[in-house]
Amino acid sequence: MAHNIAILGASGYTGAELVRLIATHPNMRITAMGANSKAGQAMADVFPHLRHLDLPVLQKIEEIDFSGVDLCFCALPHATSQEVIRDLPKTLKIVDLSADFRLRDPAEYKRWYGNGHAALECQAEAVYGLTEFYRDEIRAARLVAGTGCNAATGQYALRPLIAEGVIDLDDIILDLKCAVSGAGRSLKENLLHAELSEGYHAYSVGGVHRHLGEFDQEFSAIAGRPVKVQFTPHLIPANRGILATVYVKGDAARIHEVLARAYADEPFLQVLPFGQHPSTRHIRGSNFCHLGVVADRREGRAIVIAALDNLTKGSSGQALQNANLMLGEDETTGLMLAPCFP
């Protein structure tokens, strides 16, 4: 029997991506879609690529009847999300795609996001949504906090290495190359095609990107001591994809072995043969993450490279994977779409 699904924030890219994926999910039915600024419009007017689907009209969130809803995806902006979720029925299963419930320590939340938290009682029950590492907690959770897309990419490259102690924890550098859809459908000058196409640049340089809050929280927890990575994202003229080039100190062959073993049974995490490395074009539009390890010419140094689609495995695909777990579905249902290349 199909689960009834609500999507809040349906007029953004992650909302649309959820609809795209659920469109071929055999056991989910979208029964309500919230988008305050576009309430009253048909989804086909906001996202014409979804016009073949029979979808509910966009509504104001406060007008949605959640009584028959089994699970609600919240693809709302940061800070808004916590206020909305606070007021949703307490029995409703929720997968949140915002940053609002990712950081367990309210002080850290305030430090990275600037504002106090409006729903600390919800945060207390939230489970961090990196599926492969929190599977059991997610299965039992009422509220799952989707990870940052950059944070997911970096963690797939590093968590097993930190856990197994095969790299130097004080010299980890993540150089990320991010496609533009990660910035959402927001009207900013630097996101215009004429600005971005044919050029690229770093941003949030120097350790100020908010996803560092997630890296610090997770890596320190695994290591049992503070771990502070360096992380520089770059904006690349492409629509989908994150490529993380991670510079670590450790034995490359051992690092590859640890990663390959850690992900051997994971349906979406594919570790390439030692010495090979991935490209974003080969995961585009899919829920797969490809990982590679190469030894540097300097002994004791390795490069780990991870690639995933920020809208799929980095947010909406991850969210659906978690929702599957929460609803008792097979984790991969609706997510086995092959990447779209070329």
Residues 172-191 that bind a copy of itself (CB under 8 A): 173, 175, 177, 180-181, 183, 185, 187-189, 191
Min. distance of Cβ 310 from a copy of itself in angstroms?
Answer: 11
Helix (H, G, I), strand (E, B) or coil at 267: coil
* Binding window for a copy of itself (CB under 8 A); candidates: 33-41, 100-108, 139-147, 334-342: 334-342
Between 144 and 238, name the residue whose CB sits nearer to a copy of itself.
238
168 binds a copy of itself per the rule CB under 8 A: no
For residue 308, list its beta bridge partners.
242
Name the pairing type of β-strands 230-235 and 143-145.
unpaired
Give me the amino acid identity at 235: L
Q: How far is 18 from 14, CA to CA, in rounded Å?
A: 6
What is the number of other CB atoms lying within 10 angstroms of the CB of residue 105? Answer: 12
107 binds a copy of itself per the rule CB under 8 A: no
Which of 207, 226, 253, 330 is the binder for a copy of itself (CB under 8 A)? Answer: 207
16 binds a copy of itself per the rule CB under 8 A: yes
Min. distance of Cβ 123 from a copy of itself in angstroms?
Answer: 24
Q: How far is 160 from 175, CA to CA, in rounded Å?
A: 19
* Binding window for a copy of itself (CB under 8 A); candidates: 82-90, 100-108, 156-164, 205-213: 205-213
- Which residues are annotated as catalytic? 149
Which of 39, 42, 50, 79 is the binder for a copy of itself (CB under 8 A)? Answer: 50
Min. distance of Cβ 63 from a copy of itself in angstroms?
Answer: 25
Between 142 and 228, name the residue whose CB sits nearer to a copy of itself.
228
Between 46 and 84, name the residue whose CB sits nearer to a copy of itself.
46
146 within 8 A of 129, measured Cβ to Cβ: yes
Q: How far is 183 from 180, CA to CA, in rounded Å?
A: 6
Q: How far is 322 from 95, CA to CA, in rounded Å?
A: 8
Q: How far is 320 from 4, CA to CA, in rounded Å?
A: 13
Min. distance of Cβ 259 from a copy of itself in angstroms?
Answer: 16
Bond into 237 cis (ω within 30):
no
Which of 154, 241, 314, 317 is the binder for a copy of itself (CB under 8 A)? Answer: 241
Write the DSSP string, 59-123: E-GGG---TT-SEEEE-PPTTHHHHHHHTS-TT-EEEE-SSTTS-SSHHHHHHHHSS--S-HHHH
Binding mask of the shown chain, residues 114 to 133, with x at each position contacting a copy of itself by CB under 8 A: --------------------
211 binds a copy of itself per the rule CB under 8 A: no
58 within 8 A of 11, measured Cβ to Cβ: yes
The residues, ordered by sequence, that sit 6+ positions from 268 with a Cβ below 8 Å of its Cβ are 132, 287, 288, 289, 313, 321, 332, 335
For residues 303-332, which are near a copy of itself according to CB under 8 A?
Answer: 303, 305, 307, 311
For residues 242-281, which are near a copy of itself according to CB under 8 A?
Answer: 243, 245, 247, 267, 270, 275, 277-281
298 binds a copy of itself per the rule CB under 8 A: yes
